[in-house]
Structure 1
Amino acid sequence: MNSKHPSKPMAELYREGRKHFIELVPDGGARLDALFHTAPGLGELAVGVVYGHLQSRPGLDPRLREAATLVAIVAAGMTGPPLSVHFKTGMASGLASGEMVELVTQASAFTGFPRAVATADQLNRLFEEAGLVSPPPPTPREVTLAFCESVRKGRAPIRVSLQIKRLLRQAERLSAQATSARNVIVECFDDQQAIPIVLIYFEVEAEHVVSIRLFKEQ
């Protein structure tokens, strides 16, 4: 299998990974130095592989890659530095706080409740340190789908254009995909169509949709 870095030495991958980590976590350099003070060689391997190589692979977007990493951390029962580090990099990569909690809840059915509960206990501290609302607001996708359902029932929570109202009401089905901690794209489908007739872009703050934009093929 081809890789983006087939022949780069570990030292170069480490430099790239460290740079990427610091871009995600403002105090990342100090955190890495403290974490790997006694075992700098381990730091070079870990940072080089995870943030120098894996994070640069084009097969997954950063949100999905961090989501997969968070679930793997829960499955392995790692409630120490790996969880706290990827809690921060997950937020920096566009995961909403509610999405992180939803991922832990989803993982609990497959990893076992003891590990998920241990993770939840650690999340209490991480949420407090980050100044996040606990429990978090609904996920952006959940907020958006609830908003769309209200519009389809004729009870728009905010001012919505007649065109968007009509499109949401007439669509046979909707498909929603969060693209960041604040943005969701909703695809509107007619019956039996595989290609959406329109895309609607939602911006979410906490529990509310705050703006809507329409994308339509000309």
Structure 2
Amino acid sequence: MTEPMADLHDRGRETFAGLVEGGAQRLDALFATVPALGELAVGTVYGHLHERPALDARTREAATLAAIVAAGMVGPPLSVHLRTGLASGLSPAEVCEVVVQTAAFAGFPRAVSAADQLNRLFEGHGLPIPPPPSPREVVLAYLAEPEAVEAEVAEVLAEFPRTEVQATGPDRVLVTCFGDEPAPGAVLHCSVTGAEVASVMVFRPR
């Protein structure tokens, strides 16, 4: 009969392998000397926590990165969770913003150490330094210039001026638009490329 932790480890290993290229081999190398630690860590983090439904993968990875920076862990944990954070839909700019946010609560020395390590990690992954703005930043700037938006989008914003802006991936943002009613009057699905809004789809309730 399969032990519960062994089963969690197998599920976690499979999850990690789906997020990171060559992930299974990377785990084997990292925990070669202490495989029992690998079983415990991978089973807990990627077999159990990763599947909990209360947080989406992006939010969970952002929280994990904040905890890693706060604890001063700039070695393998930061490297691993940069990879899984990006694979879970965080943009490079959002990863950097987590470091900025953590500095105010965990102290600047730990945040600066993390930033120094991110320089090397970004370079190793071929990511631009500094990264382009986060998708949410790009969309907020787009919405702040009414003359720059398409006519249909301008009409929606004029009719429903209160907005909630939420990134859902490294290149997409949902803008929920409200008028006087508690229910939204429209939703904008924005696709972002670099520092530009590439396209906007407008959805209205029937």
TM-score (norm 2): 0.96
> How many pairs are equivalent?
205
Partner of 2:179: 190
Deviation at 1:175, TM superposition (A): 1.0
CA RMSD of aligned residues (A): 1.3
Q: Establish whether residue 165 from structure 1 lines up as the match of residue 159 from structure 2.
A: no
Distance in 2 (CA, whole Å) between partners of 1:171 and 1:215 is 13
What amino acid is aligned across from residue 208 of structure 1 in structure 2? E
Structure 2 letter corresponding to 1:175:
E
Aligned ranges for residues 87-126 of structure 1 at < 5 Å? 87-126=82-121
How much does 1:8 deviate?
6.5
The yes-or-no answer on 1:145 pairing with 2:140 is yes
Alpha-carbon separation, structure 2, partners of 1:79 and 1:147? 35
Note the residue ranges of structure 2 that are not aligned, 5 or more in a row. none
Q: What are the within-5 Å matches in structure 2 for residues 20-169 of structure 1?
A: 20-150=15-145, 152=146, 154-156=147-149, 160=150, 162-169=151-158
State which of 177, 190, 203 in structure 2 corresponds to 1:215: 203
Which ranges in structure 1 are unaligned for 5 or more consecutive residues?
Answer: 1-6
Q: Distance in 1 between matches of 2:201 and 2:159?
A: 18
SS, match of residue 21 in structure 1: helix
Residues 180-213 of structure 1, C-alpha deviations (whole Å, 9 max, x = no match) = 001100011114x322211000000110110110
Q: CA deviation at 1:31?
A: 0.9
Change (3 A) 1:149 1:82: same
Separation (CA, whole Å) in 2 of partners of 1:38 and 1:135? 36
Moved over 3 A (4+): none
Cα-to-partner distance string for 1:165-190 (whole Å, 9 max, x where unaligned): 21123333211000000110001111
Q: Pick from 177, 188, 192 the counterpart of residue 200 of structure 1.
A: 188
Q: Distance in 2 between matches of 1:214 and 1:155?
A: 16
